[in-house]
Chain A
Amino acid sequence: MTLRRKALLAVAALAVTGVALAGCSSGNPFDEPSQEAGGSASIVVGSAAFPESEIIMQIYAQALEAEGVKVQTKPNIGQRDVYLAALKDGSIDLIPEYSGNLLQFFDKKATESSSEDVYAALQKAAKLHGYEVLDQAKAQDKDSYNVTKKFSQEHGVKSLADLAALGIPLKVGANPEFAERPYGIPGLKDVYGIDATLVPISDSSGPLTVKALAEGTVDLADIYTTTPAIKENDFVTLEDPKNLIIAQNVVPLITKSKVTDTVKRVLNKVSSLLTTEDLIDMNAKSSGAQKLSASAIAKDWLKSHELLK
């Protein structure tokens, strides 16, 4: 009797532990895929821990799925060092990346800065690490100098090169590190000959930086190119003919062994269609009043480009 009760208890305890363990593990992004992968035709797509990355991940995943590739997704895997470790250990096979930052992660001394140069260098660097980068998209998410529409029209300014000719001291709203970064105040001075002083605003081109530019507290503001606020406020993003700011094209980073003709064709098609404008629109849907899910936003985009029925 006692023995049987003990056995029962033991079984019950085991069951409870099992359930508890299962509960714990289901939230871990580094889990083994729950559906068994069917050979190399199955791909695990990951994303960094910010909405834009997750949206692009969904685009990749749904586009591949539509072509019969078995796909799993692992969104929200921290920052670059974390998700690249996941790529290395095989927890994920594919992730949307940004060319400039990825290149500098692989090679800290890289000096390339234009889209083409960065991409060429990145292809080599990725190969060294056992990965491949497929075609890069036109879409870029990078720092950019913006002015108000009024300022642009009054002074006839469309590019950073035009600013130097104005010969007036300019105030730049950006994170404090812009005081020393090569693409910050020193770059404006050395590369373009612009007399600029920094107004430090520590919100990473967030609402305060946008407000500072809109209200004229600053003349120039550093805002990421895919921020919906640029459109909403009619800001003019200044061209950068001398490539002061390193290119950050969206590019699929994939484990070499997972590259098949289908995967290549699908992802290259996606990249050929994805623009910075698209990213702005999609970010607005994600963060604005609508608060749509990444998968719904991705589906809309794919449908509008007839990659999904």
Chain B
Amino acid sequence: MNFLIEAFAWIGDPAHWSGDDGILTRSGQHVGFTLLTLALACAVALPVGLTIGHTGRGRGLGVAAAGALRALPTLGLLLLFALGMPLGPLPAVVALVVLALPPVLAGAYAGLESVDRATVDAARGVGMTGWQVLWRVEIPIALPLILGGVRSAALQVIATWTVAAILPVGGLGRYIFDALPLQQYDKMLAGSILVIALALLTDAIFALVQRLVVPKGVVAGVTAPVT
């Protein structure tokens, strides 16, 4: 219990908020890296996932790939990439993108699959092209689920960017890795608390957005995030 109090005292100390190693800088780096990772993961996984969901082709491959990617240990991957790339944020970004791919991919194809076939058939019946069906019918209806995938990925990426601090990169993980060998447990726990706070905040934002994007008249799409 004492440790918790000390950790919050550490966070409360204004001296720890400014400077290169301050909470503002470190949080900013953490958020920045997370957004970059998510953007790259979405750029790869969303088109693939939507294609699988829309055409129904390659589903077996997509599911297998998502499963296989999930099985990769992120820390091992990070060190492996670090040995083959310039030291710095790059190997961490690549390893974390690999971590973020499966939930985004699964959210995308599961989302499209959840759309009632009758709705899709009706859309085709009124003369919509494949693209129109995808953009005007399938994606809007599946959006909560697709976002659920991104939400799940975002949480994993925020939590896991901490281990990237094994390399010389910024982010909130620095507090954990820098403090551990010096037995500065207040700083270490403070780092963990900040990561948790960031994750909760992100989750709350996604929950709100997910609720806002549900099209009028669709109830079926409101679901828990895909994990």
Contact = CB atoms under 8 A, between A and B. Distances in A.
Contact of B181 (A176, A203, A207): A176
A201 B83 CA distance: 12
A202 B86 contact: no
Interface string B172-192: 001001101110000000000
Given A215-B86, A217-B88, A208 B178 contact: no
A179 B178 contact: yes
A217 B87 contact: yes
A211 B166 contact: no
B165 interface: yes
Contacts of A180: 182
Interface residues of B, number: 16
Contacts of B167: 201-202, 208
A190 interface: no
B155 interface: no
Contacts of A177: 178, 181-182
Contacts of B168: 173, 199-201, 212, 217
A201 B87 contact: yes
Nearest to A212: B87
Contact of A202 (B83, B88, B177, B182): B177
A200 B87 contact: no
Q: Chain B: interface secondary structure?
A: helix
A175 interface: yes
Contact of A208 (B79, B165, B174, B182): B79
Contacts of A175: 181
Nearest to B166: A202
Interface in A194-209: 199-203, 207-208
B94 interface: no
A41 B88 CA distance: 56
Interface string A143-185: 0000000000000000000000000000001011101100000
A211 B87 contact: yes
B29 to A, nearest CB: 14
Nearest to A203: B166
A202 B75 CA distance: 12
B82 interface: yes
B86 A200 contact: no
A207 to B, nearest CB: 6
Given A200-B168, A202-B166, A203-B166, A176 B83 contact: no
Contacts of B86: 215, 217
B206 to A, nearest CB: 31
Contacts of A211: 82-83, 87
B87 A202 contact: no
Contacts of A176: 174, 177-178, 180-182
Contacts of B165: 200, 202
Contacts of B83: 207-208, 211
Given A211-B87, A217-B87, A200 B177 contact: yes
Contacts of B88: 217
A29 to B, nearest CB: 27
A287 to B, nearest CB: 16
Given A180-B182, A200-B168, A202-B165, A208 B87 contact: yes
A201 B178 CA distance: 10
A167 to B, nearest CB: 23
Among B79, B82, B181, the most chain A Cβ lie within 10 Å of the Cβ of: B181
A3 to B, nearest CB: 58
Interface string A129-154: 00000000000000000000000000
A97 to B, nearest CB: 22
Contacts of A212: 87, 168
Contacts of A200: 165, 168, 174, 177-178
A177 B166 CA distance: 12
A208 B181 contact: no
B169 to A, nearest CB: 9
A69 B168 CA distance: 51
Nearest to B21: A179
24 contacts: A173-B168, A175-B181, A176-B174, A176-B178, A177-B181, A179-B178, A180-B182, A200-B165, A200-B174, A201-B87, A201-B166, A201-B168, A202-B165, A202-B166, A202-B167, A202-B177, A208-B87, A208-B167, A211-B82, A212-B168, A215-B86, A217-B86, A217-B87, A217-B168
Interface of A: 173, 175-177, 179-180, 199-203, 207-208, 211-212, 215, 217
Given A203-B166, A208-B83, A211-B82, 5 more contacts: A179-B178, A199-B87, A200-B178, A202-B166, A208-B79
Top 8 nearest A-B pairs (CB, nearest first) are A177-B181, A176-B178, A202-B166, A199-B168, A217-B87, A212-B87, A177-B182, A200-B168
